[in-house]
Structure 1
Amino acid sequence: MTYREAIDHGEYFLQEHDISDAKTDAWLLLAMVCKIDRNFYYLHMLEDITEEQLTEYESVLKKRAEHIPLQYITGEQEFMGLNFVVNSNVLIPRQDTEVLVEEALKQIRPGMEVLDLCTGSGCIIISIMKNVPQITATASDISKQALIVAKENAKLNEVSIQFECSNLFDNLKGTFDVIVSNPPYIRTEEIAKLMPEVRDFEPYDALDGKEDGLMFYRQIIEQAKQYLKSDGYLMFEIGYDQGEAVSTLMKQAGYEDVRVVKDLAGSDRVVTGKGRNYV
């Protein structure tokens, strides 16, 4: 089978199993197995791949056909122009979350202390540090397995971050100029309706925001008062329909300059607010 035939075969096979972007996924899986790039492909597409490569390619195609996320098969995902290791212990970094990083970078300055709650893969705090390396960064997650991935990503991207295993603020000390968080925010009843790649393979506890999807926002908004420096910022990623609810929670708790920020698709994606002399 030639490289071109392998792409065509993979695309057809994935289409039969209702995989969206079948052609792109077939290419990425072949590129991973054969360790090639586009330039190599176009120069050699009529040449045969090896039997070993074909066997491995068939294996990863079958995994993708089972709706295992592409990123869990390749083991990586790009975010903010950086490469991140991912596995089934962490959510796959998504472009929507880049809005949170961009908003945080508008407020963060060298010398600040920044906390990332529910860090998962570490993509948020690592991306912040790559842009403002002169900060002191702390990241926490309740999952020890997620922290293993986050630490690997910090090493991969050559940044120094203090990681803590903590249920929100339980094991944290000190105060922070900026607290960012992408907490679980899917309503429990909605999880069963998600696409199978998310519903069946991404970590449930990182998705489940409980009955109304707002449980972690309520807890963080209240507890963060003890950990925010004067005029410090609290910033969240939110679901597309949670802008009003989360901004109202922040205003009721006494945060100032509360804003809802939209993503490129025009959906509510981030809520930010400023603390007022809590500590």
Structure 2
Amino acid sequence: MMQAGRLYRQIRDRFRGAEISDPELDAKLLVSTLLGIGLSDLLLNDAQEVDAAQVREIEEKAVLRMGGMPLGRILGEREFYGRRFLLNSATLEPRPDTETLIDAVLSRTAGDAPVTIWDIGTGSGAIAVTLLAERPRGRAIAIDLSEDALACAVNNARLHSVEDRFHPICADYLAAMDLDRTEGPDWIVSNPPYICSRVLEELSPEVIDHDPRLALDGGENGLNAYAALVPQAAGLLRSGARIALEIGYDQAASVEKLLRQHDLGEIEIIKDLAGNDRVALARGT
């Protein structure tokens, strides 16, 4: 037997020694999740006894983390916008940068208004599910090429009790949609693959060895997904409807040019908390 506080501190110190980027948080998340308690409960229940089997499991998973496996992959879940999201091998781990897109959409959408959202390349469903959870009169069509990713997204919709407003479709970008502009969505949102193919091998092992390449590879210049998505979206967005795209830090000018070429107006580029260009917004005309 070992006390929870002591176990946490041991794991934290091992993570520090392994130069994990955020050893305190990763140790807290690992120990609290596997003990089935909240982060605050871990600190409040320092003397809670942990049985030998749980200690072994936590230590085994700590070894995986020190070996470079992301904590979300080890636990099979990741926190995003204050909610827990399940993951599988077909889904990208949702990252804090993407919360910039969530904030941009929510700040431009009335809390009590009905809203229709199409989430292109939904992956784990983190964007669509979060928006539905925050906007109780919203509904979302969630599109992904991967059936495995969609299965994960559906589970997350159930987890957060929005499954009756979450409609999954297996398709490539907007190919499944054949609607008049008058029937289109209020928002098209997407966090598409935007990393240049030549840069992929330069990414950290935590990313390239564990995130699905399909969700990362944006082609030779990182813009393949935007070049496919924007023309289709422009044909579907009625006047006043919007598109919100996550972008790479150096892609604002290219994506803005593409949006203008397809007659989308009121273009905005929004920065993330680190001051990097992160989201491109535009409105149908």
Is the pair's TM-score, using the shorter chain for normalization, greater than 0.5?
yes
Quote the residue 2:274 is aligned against: 265
Mapping 1:237-252, distance limit 5 Å:
237-252=246-261
Q: Distance in 1 between matches of 2:39 and 2:283?
A: 47
TM-score, normalised with respect to structure 2:
0.89
Quote the residue 1:170 is aligned against: 175
Bigger mean CA deviation after superposition, 78-87 or 137-146:
78-87
Q: Runs of 4+ in structure 1 displaced over 6 angstroms?
A: none
Q: Distance in 2 between matches of 1:61 and 1:76?
A: 16
Quote the residue 1:123 is aligned against: 126
Quote the residue 1:98 is aligned against: 99
Q: Distance in 1 between matches of 2:66 and 2:272?
A: 30
Mapping 1:209-228, distance limit 5 Å:
209-228=218-237
Deviation at 1:209, TM superposition (A): 0.5
Deviation at 1:22, TM superposition (A): 2.0
* 1:84/1:21 CA distance change after superposition, 3 Å: same
* 1:133/1:173 CA distance change after superposition, 3 Å: farther
Quote the residue 1:156 is aligned against: 159
**In percent, how many aligned pairs have the same letter?**
35
CA contact (8 A) 2:28 2:42 kept: no
Q: Distance in 1 between matches of 2:121 and 2:40?
A: 39
* Helix, strand or coil at the partner of 2:193: coil
Q: Distance in 1 between matches of 2:251 and 2:209?
A: 24
Quote the residue 2:140 is aligned against: 137
* Helix, strand or coil at the partner of 1:230: coil
Deviation at 1:67, TM superposition (A): 1.3
Quote the residue 1:9 is aligned against: 10
* 1:136/1:58 CA distance change after superposition, 3 Å: closer
Deviations 1:41-87 (A, max 9, x none): 45654565321112111211111122111112222222222221123
Deviation at 1:130, TM superposition (A): 1.8
Instruction: List alignment gaps of at least 5 residues for structure 2.
Output: none
* 1:112/1:172 CA distance change after superposition, 3 Å: same
Deviations 1:86-122 (A, max 9, x none): 2332111112111111222244453332211011111
Quote the residue 2:28 is aligned against: 27
Mapping 1:22-61, distance limit 5 Å:
22-37=23-38, 41-42=42-43, 45=46, 49-61=50-62
CA contact (8 A) 1:7 1:27 kept: yes
Instruction: List alignment gaps of at least 5 residues for structure 1.
Output: none
* 1:245/1:53 CA distance change after superposition, 3 Å: same
TM-score, normalised with respect to structure 1:
0.91
Deviation at 1:220, TM superposition (A): 0.7
Aligned residue pairs total: 276
Quote the residue 2:114 is aligned against: 111
Quote the residue 1:199 is aligned against: 208
Task: Give the aligned CA root-mean-square deviation in angstroms.
Answer: 2.0
